[in-house]
Amino acid sequence: MGLLERLDAGEVVIGDGGFVFELEKRGYVKAGPWTPEVCLEHPEVVRGLHREFLRAGSDVMQTFTFYASDDKLCNRGNEAGVKFTCRQVNDAACRLAHEVAAEGDALVAGGISQTPSYLSGLGKKATQAEFKKQVDVFVENKVDFLIAEYFEHVEEMEWAIESLASSGLPVCATMCIGPEGDLHGVSAGQCAVRMARAGAHAVGVNCHFDPFVSLEAVRLMKEALAEAGLKAHLMAQPLAIWTPDTKKQGFIDQPEFPFALEPRIMTRWEIQKYARQAYELGVRYIGGCCMFQAYHIRAVAEELREERGKLPAAHQKHELWGGGLLLHTKPWVRARASREYWSRLSPATGRPYSAALSRPAGWGVTAGHQELLQHKEPTTQHELDAVNDKFKEAEA
């Protein structure tokens, strides 16, 4: 069954988790450019990560094509100075996703994301030309559906949806926004309305915020869609870290981004709560983004086992609510084999004197950088340009 048949029948579709952050940690993606050359450089690593998510219960193998538009990939050669084209990266990514999807009953989704062309103000034609190159490869590779994800300006998202819809394939659209809406001041609700009107079959959010903040944004989207009399499936692929303290741009604005976020990682039990709340809100495409690992996806599949009527292969090594601990040698650990225990536990950070909320280190940076670290996040291209100018001054 295809994506829309599954969603129209009210089934839960479980997405995958984070590739770009995970592979950065493993040493295959560079933070900064965040591009997915690894699909060609170390295909076995990408294949292995797809397999982990499949085993954990993902119904979708999403091509690792984040930031894989030509305008983003150009001048991003690997250490050997070899450059890969959009066509090469997207084609390799499609093959890897297909290969693993065939090992289960998974769907393959081709994914596109925001482009430098849009941010540099090159306009609709140039931006869509970038999307089209990716879509052509997805269509040739016969993916099952398409996802436009990680857009923070609804205008670019509309252009992306238009490009994807021209393929005739089902289109999912998630913006990396929270309840405050996009970076142009468009509310979350209006973003959903505009995504649905542009032709998206499923709309929602991905990345940038924690599962609970993200669901708040999806709730606003749901209300606005109902008010506008529009029908679209709801989708959520949030971070697997806590971001109760973020501003408009989510975890990008946290001082810990991107190299010190580990203390914020959610437990599997917290992700189970997310899965339940997402389901109750009516979200039927439930997955994850950055920091979401296979055990988090397994937690989604386990929480929704009755609704789905099945459990994933990885469940063989994980009994519900820590049941496997009954085989532990120590009786006080055996006593933890219960829902009562894990659903009520409040974990510590383990860091002496650690705080719940963060503060950037203030030493070792220039006055110019110091000012940048305190910046109020830009919400328009004009403001972003001004901050970039300041950055250049600070560097000079």
> Which residues does the annotation place in the binding site for Zn(2+)?
207, 289-290
Residues 110-169 that bind Zn ion (CB under 5 A): none
Three-class DSSP category at 152: coil
In degrees rounded to 5, what are phi and psi of residue 28? -120, -5
- Closer to ligand MET by Cβ: residue 189 or 287: 287
Residues 196-215 that bind Zn ion (CB under 5 A): 207
Q: Could you identify the residue written with the tokens 């290969």?
A: 99
Q: By CB under 6 A, tell whether 18 contacts ligand MET.
A: yes
Q: By CB under 6 A, tell whether 241 contacts ligand MET.
A: no
Residues 284-343 that bind ligand MET (CB under 6 A): 289-290
Q: By CB under 6 A, tell whether 220 contacts ligand MET.
A: no
- Closer to ligand MET by Cβ: residue 150 or 321: 150
Q: Could you identify the residue written with the tokens 């040739």?
A: 140
Number of residues that bind Zn ion (CB under 5 A): 3
Three-class DSSP category at 206: strand
Q: Which string of b and e fits 363-388 if b means at least 16 CB within 10 Å?
A: eeeeeeeeebeeeeebbeeeeeeeee
The distance of closest approach from Cβ of residue 156 to Zn ion in the complex, given in angstroms and rounded to an integer, is: 17
- Closer to Zn ion by Cβ: residue 112 or 207: 207
Q: Are 106 and 297 in contact (CB under 8 A)?
A: no
Helix axis angle for 86-101 and 124-140, nearest 10°, is: 40
Residue 100 contacts by C-beta under 8 Å, 6 or more apart in sequence? 47, 50, 51, 54, 61, 106
Cα 192 to the center of its chain, rounded Å: 17
Positive or negative torsion for Cα 164, 274, 192, 232:
positive
Alpha carbon separation from 12 to 174, 234, 345 (Å, rounded): 17, 11, 28
- Closer to Zn ion by Cβ: residue 112 or 289: 289
Residues 25, 7: Cα–Cα separation, whole Å: 34
Residue choice 7, 12, 13, 20 for contact with ligand MET (CB under 6 A) = 20
Stretch 343-362: interaction string toward ligand MET, x if CB under 6 A? --------------------
Residue 19 binds which of ligand MET, Zn ion, none (CB < 5-8 A, kind-dependent):
ligand MET
- Closer to ligand MET by Cβ: residue 20 or 101: 20
The partner residues of 149 in beta bridges, in order of sequence, read: 174
- Closer to ligand MET by Cβ: residue 100 or 207: 207
Residues 363, 370: Cα–Cα separation, whole Å: 9
The region of 15-23, 70-78, 221-229, 265-273 touching ligand MET under the rule CB under 6 A is: 15-23
Stretch 63-82: interaction string toward ligand MET, x if CB under 6 A? ---x----------------
Stretch 151-190: interaction string toward ligand MET, x if CB under 6 A? ----------------------------------------
Binding site for Zn ion (CB under 5 A): 207, 289-290
Residue numbers of the site for ligand MET (CB under 6 A)? 18-20, 62, 66, 111, 150, 207, 289-290
